[in-house]
Amino acid sequence: MLDATPQAGSPRSEPLLSAVSISKRYGDFLANDRIDLDLFPAEIHALLGENGAGKSTLVKVMYGLIQPSGGELRWMAKKVVLSGPSEARALGIGMVFQHFTLFENLTVAENVALGLPSTESFAAISERREKTARVYGLPLEPKREVWRLSGGERQRIEIVRALLQNPKLLILDEPTSVLTPQEADLLFVVLERLKSEGRAVLYISHKLEEVKRLCDTATILRGGKKVLTCNPRRETAASLARMMVGGEVGEVKAASGRSVARPRLVVDKLSLAPDDPHGTYLEEVSLAVCGGEVVGIAGVSGNGQDELFAALSGERRAPAQAAIVIDGKPAGLLGVTERRRMGAAFVPEERLGHGTAPRMKLSENALLTGHAASGMVKKGFIDKLATLVHVDRTTKSFDVRKAKRDPEAVSLSGGNLQKFVVGREILREPGVLVVSQPTWGVDAGAAAVIRQALIDLAGRGAAVLVISQDLDELAEIADRIAVMFHGRLSAPLDAAEATREKLGLLMGGARPERAAEEQGTKHAIGA
């Protein structure tokens, strides 16, 4: 256990940290507008909101990464000015970011030590690290290099490193996005223990059922302003989503009258060495996706999903032409443009930089992927009107919110850019669509729009392959679900059979028969 902090029985009268009328302005844009927020000891407090609602800006102020334009922070009722994260940590504020701050080629022990003050010896840090990992049930292998670790193992490093600084307040940004369901359950046990010790936790997540299960209080931001604070356990996920978006969130519905036709995308024993020394080797991946169905691929990040997407899209060529077949035609040795001409479309995980060129206009980005098969180029000349029309159609169909007709991609919020990238490809009416992390980091409203569009595309006869870490998403849209682990792909399960427990075991490396056996044992015990 770490040093003593205010205990769970402490009176709730005095907040540990208060944000008082916090505002942050970037030019004419007001990211935070006079936000008040109180965080109490022995409380897990959720911070919710759409993309662009102001969550990230607020926690950056709380952690000293940026200075507010107005208002103040109070730590245990005293005004504080944080000039940087080191001052926040000195007070007792720790933070685990969504995107880990680890050095791939260094060991676990070295990464932990680098995040701590240099006044302590490596041996002393190692002793404290081992004790903290043991006490909180966060096992680490100190001599392993980070690049060899799963997402869950990397997160443990970040949490243990934060705990070694004895935080009274721990801020977590989308902490379960890289975890299996079993790993998420273990994280919740750790957070409940921190709460029982009197520590405060600020929990940022788009997973509303998770928030309802774990959090005592929720504060909702919308448009940079605080909307309300509530008890999430007294709300439904739907009501929380309505508060976040300021209206009804569309319900995702299965396409009516959908029939499954012949396979339109076939992967046959695809093996491929990574082009990155830290990448994953694909080992005899086989899969068939039929017209009229959505097939999901689950798995913790870093298990070969990026390599598989690159092979399917043509960014990496397969070893043999017959390893990938699109609409009956071998395509393994073809590039991206040739595959698009065959009627395939691709949406990568990284929307800014991979899915779009940040400083190019939306019309120019539409041309980058649409020139091969959408009529934007005629007799060697670009039809600028056609590119603008495509942007307009995407804007209208997918509710892409932007300041002007044809802005640069970088000017859009994450959720709106994601709707544009997905919509741009779907409106081409591809026969095959491969999409990676379609709703990564987007709010409930945008996620519903994207998921419904994927289902509807399959309903019109396309073969849709969705690579996603979000099991709730796959359960909502997929007809069959397979799991990637260390470059191997399991046989797809029908959605009705693909329980969270079974998928979680497969994501953790259990053999399919073992996953079924363990789940059956669990059900028998609970019967």
Q: What is the pLDDT of residues 341-358, one digit of tens each?
A: 999 999 999 898 999 999
Fold match between domain 17-245 and domain 250-343+431-527: yes
Cβ atoms of 96 and 175 within 8 Å: the answer is yes
CA geometry: angle 258, 264, 268, nearest 5 deg = 130
User: Taking 50 as the threshold, does the pLDDT of residue 370 lie above it?
Assistant: yes
β 432-436/344-347 pair status: parallel
Q: How many other CB atoms sit within 10 Å of the CB of residue 249?
A: 19
Rounded to an integer, the average pLDDT of 379-404 is 91
Q: What is the pLDDT of residues 24-56, one digit of tens each?
A: 998 888 999 999 999 999 999 999 998 778 898
Q: pLDDT grade, residue 12 (50/70/90)?
A: low
Give the list of residues 6+ apart from residue 58 with CB closer than 8 angstroms, or none.
Answer: 19, 22, 24, 32, 35, 37, 47, 221
Structure tokens belonging to residue 435 = 């999409």
* 3-class state of residue 244 by DSSP: helix
pLDDT, residue 368, reads 93
**Could you write out the three-class secondary structure of 398-437?**
HCCCCCCCCCEHHHCCHHHHHHHHHHHHHCCCCCEEEEEC
Q: Tell which CATH architecture fits domain 17-245.
A: 3-Layer(aba) Sandwich (3.40)
Q: What is the pTM of this model?
A: 0.77
Q: Which residues pair with 113 in a beta bridge?
A: none
Among 115, 64, 106, CA closest to 87: 64
Q: What is the DSSP letter of 306?
A: H
Give every strand in the sheet of 70-75, ordered side by side. Answer: 29-39, 17-26, 70-75, 78-80
How many angstroms separate the CA atoms of 501 and 91, rounded?
Answer: 40
CA dihedral 463, 467, 470, 474 (to 10 degrees): 20
How many angstroms separate the CA atoms of 463 and 324, rounded?
Answer: 14
pLDDT, residue 4, reads 41
Tell me the domain boundaries of the chain: 17-245, 250-343+431-527, 353-429
Amino acid at 283: E
Rg of the chain over Cα atoms, rounded to whole angstroms, equals: 24
Q: How many other CB atoms sit within 10 Å of the CB of residue 437?
A: 23
CATH of 250-343+431-527, one of 3.40.50.10470, 3.40.50.2300, 3.40.50.300, 3.60.21.10: 3.40.50.300
